Amino acid sequence: MKRVLFVRQTMEDGGVSAAALLQLKQQLSQLSEKERVEMSAFLHRMKQETPAWQKEMSRRMAEMDAGKKIHLPKPLAKR
C-alpha cells in the first residue's frame, strides 16, 4: 500500500493553504481504487459526525415519525 504523507500547512485563519490542498489532491490521485474507497468511507464518516449532519438526520427522522414521505437518494451505480 502506498503511503500518503500530508503535512498540514495552515493559513492565518486556520484553513489549509492552497498549496497544501493541491499536494493532498495529488497524493490522493495516486491511491488505488480500494484505497480511494476507504478514503471516501472515512470522509463520509467524518461528515456524519458534524452537528449539521446530525441536525438534518434528526429533522428527517421527525418527518418520518410524522408520517411524511421522504425521498432517498438514488443508489450509486455498481462498478
Domain map (residue ranges) of the chain: 1-30, 32-65
Q: Which amino acid is at 50?
A: T
pLDDT given at position 38:
93
The secondary structure of residue 31, as a DSSP letter, is S
State the angle between helix axes of 51-65 and 33-48 in degrees (0 to 180), rounded to the nearest 10: 70
| pLDDT of amino acid 3 | 58
Read off the pTM.
Answer: 0.52
36/11: higher pLDDT: 36
Q: What gap in Å lies between CA 47 and CA 55, rounded to an integer?
A: 12
Under 8 Å between Cβ of 5 and 27: yes
Report pLDDT digits (tens) over 30-69: 999 999 999 999 988 888 888 988 998 898 889 888 988 7
- Are 10 and 17 spatial neighbours (Cβ–Cβ below 8 Å)? yes
How large is the average pLDDT for residues 4-8?
56
